[in-house]
């Protein structure tokens, strides 16, 4: 089996390669070539940790495996390591033998940023000029950089529940040559053509009244029952797309609109259908489109497979008899 350690990943995978891997696997999910297994997520009763598995099989990319890991809230303060910890395991679909073990921490950020970026490519107006960011935590920097690759943005406007975190996001914008302005939610909605939300909120901040016609939203933070970033009325007003419908209605941003009856699961489209050309995606310049990115195991397998290929080619992967 091959081992690709966490520390090696940053030098191996490019944002383009992550994007390609995620776009392909979303397409395979929509055409029925790839499917995710039921997610396991458990509070293990030790260190307040949440631990689980996300797995699947992609027949088109021949990726089989799982991401194991979760959230250890005391890691940083007690041990100086990050709270989110994960590892991807890939298996040979022909034999069931383990094929690779790959560090999953950076890959999680890259595949999540690639997902919203795929949605922007396929759903945002071509003439989008202003990128709105809601959230300024760990993931937001990856999200900003990936989103900026998809349109000729001239400016970034940002809002965060903890405003003291915004200057760091402004530095990330400056790093790719984009001016950044910290704004109110009203200003953000009035200016932004594309809005990425990436917070751990359990109550909505952005409302339907904030957002102008023609906006594309990528709601990326809600991945658990009870979390919520935008008002349910905004979800109900938008044309809604997601990575996987079952996950979107149970743990994603659409859970609230579905449970209050303002959106039906049948009205939600897998983004892969747009990639494959079986759904038209945006059909009018004044349409509000919303992508609910809940994060599926197949995304992890896709980027991990890409990393293993590159790591083997470049001699970085460590081979172990197993
Ligand atoms: P982080 O802890 O680094 O940042 C948290 C962000 O949420 C910050 O912007 C913070 O100000 C904001 N926030 C905290 N409490 C809030 C509140 N009460 N109201 C509004 N905002 C609040 O976390 P991160 O690593 O950047 O992750 C952000 C979110 O993305 C988390 O919910 C995480 O579970 C989720 N996530 C989703 C995926 C996916 O595939 N969809 C992947 C990774 C992470």
| pLDDT number for residue 254 | 98
**Cα 94 from chain centroid (whole Å):** 29
| Whether 67 is catalytic | yes
- Ligand 1 atom with least separation from CA of 134: 9
In order, the DSSP letters of 192-219 are -SEEEE----EEEEE-GGGPPTT-EEEE
* Residue ranges per structural domain of the chain: 2-108+298-319, 124-295
Q: Which residues, 6 or more positions from 181, have their beta carbon under 8 angstroms from its beta carbon?
A: 155, 156, 157, 158
CB distance 135 to ligand 1 below 6 Å: yes
Please tell me if the CB atom of residue 86 comes closer than 6 angstroms to any atom of ligand 1: no
pLDDT tens readout for residues 146-164? 999 999 999 999 999 999 9
| 206 sits in which H/E element | strand 202-206
Ligand 1 contacts CB of residue 50 (under 6 A): no
Q: Which atom of ligand 1 is nearest to the CA of 220?
A: 41
SS3 of residue 281 by DSSP: coil
* 37, 68 contact by CB (below 8 A): no
CA 235 to ligand 1 centroid distance, Å: 19
138 close to ligand 1 (CB < 6 Angstrom) = yes
> How much is the pLDDT for 86?
97
Q: Tell me yes or no: is domain 124-295 CATH 3.30.2010.10.
A: no
Residue whose Cα lies nearest atom 7 of ligand 1: it is: 199
Strands 40-43 and 50-58: antiparallel
Q: Does domain 2-108+298-319 have CATH number 3.30.9.10?
A: no
Question: Among residues 67, 168, 225, 227, which one is catalytic?
Answer: 67
Q: Is the CB of 22 under 6 A from ligand 1?
A: no
Provide the pLDDT confidence category of residue 225 given band limits of 50, 70 and 90. Answer: very high
What single-letter DSSP state applies at residue 164?
G
Tens of pLDDT along 283-305?
A: 999 999 999 999 999 999 999 99
Task: State the Cα–Cα distance between residues 228 and 231, nearest whole angstrom.
Answer: 8
User: What pTM was computed for the model?
Assistant: 0.97
Quote the DSSP letter at residue 193.
S
pLDDT digits (tens, 9 = 90+) for 61-99: 999 999 999 999 999 999 999 999 999 999 999 999 999
Q: How many CB atoms lie within 10 A of CB 127?
A: 10
DSSP letters, 59-77, are TTTTEEEEEEEEE-TTHHH
Instruction: State the average pLDDT for the chain.
Output: 97
For ligand 1, what atom is nearest to the CA of residue 222?
Answer: 32
> CA-CA distance, 177 to 278, in Å (whole number)?
36
For residues 242 and 233, give the distance between their C-alpha atoms in angstroms, rounded to a whole number.
Answer: 17
Average pLDDT (189-209) is 98
Q: Is the CB of 104 under 6 A from ligand 1?
A: no
Closest residue to atom 37 of ligand 1, CA basis = 221
Q: How do residues 29-46 score in pLDDT, each as one tens digit? A: 999 999 999 999 899 999
Query: How much is the pLDDT for 257?
Result: 98
- Per the listing, tokens 């599926």 go with 296
Q: What percent of the chain has pLDDT over 90?
A: 99
* Closest to 225 measured CA to CA, from 193, 196, 202: 202
């Amino acid at each position: 089996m091959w081992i690709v350690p966490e520390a090696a990943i940053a030098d191996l995978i490019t944002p383009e390669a992550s994007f390609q891997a995620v776009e392909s696997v979303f397409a395979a999910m929509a055409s029925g070539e790839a499917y995710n297994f039921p997610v396991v997520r458990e509070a293990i009763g030790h260190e307040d940790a949440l631990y689980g598995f996300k797995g699947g099989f992609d027949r088109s990319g021949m990726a089989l495996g799982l991401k194991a890991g979760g959230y250890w809230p005391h890691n940083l303060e007690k041990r100086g390591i990050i709270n989110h910890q994960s590892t991807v395991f890939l298996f040979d679909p022909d034999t069931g033998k383990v094929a690779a073990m790959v560090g999953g921490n950076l890959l999680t950020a890259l595949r999540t940023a690639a997902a919203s970026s795929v949605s922007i490519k396929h759903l945002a107006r071509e003439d989008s000029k202003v990128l709105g960011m809601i959230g300024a935590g760990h993931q937001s920097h990856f999200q900003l950089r990936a989103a900026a690759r998809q349109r000729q943005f001239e400016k970034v406007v940002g809002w965060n529940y903890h405003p003291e975190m915004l200057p760091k996001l402004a530095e990330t914008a400056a790093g790719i040559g984009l001016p950044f302005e910290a704004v109110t939610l009203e200003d953000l909605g009035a200016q932004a053509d594309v809005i990425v939300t990436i917070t751990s909120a359990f109550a909505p901040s952005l409302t339907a009244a904030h957002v102008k016609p023609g906006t594309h939203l990528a709601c990326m933070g809600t991945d658990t029952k009870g979390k919520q970033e935008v008002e349910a009325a905004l979800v109900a007003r938008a044309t809604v797309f997601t990575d996987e419908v079952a996950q979107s209605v149970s743990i994603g941003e659409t859970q609230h609109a579905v449970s209050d009856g303002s959106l039906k699961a049948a009205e939600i489209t897998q983004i892969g259908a747009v990639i494959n050309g079986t759904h038209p995606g945006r059909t009018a310049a004044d349409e509000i489109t919303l992508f609910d990115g809940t994060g599926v195991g197949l995304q992890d397998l896709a980027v991990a497979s890409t990393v293993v290929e590159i790591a083997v080619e470049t001699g970085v992967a460590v081979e172990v008899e197993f």
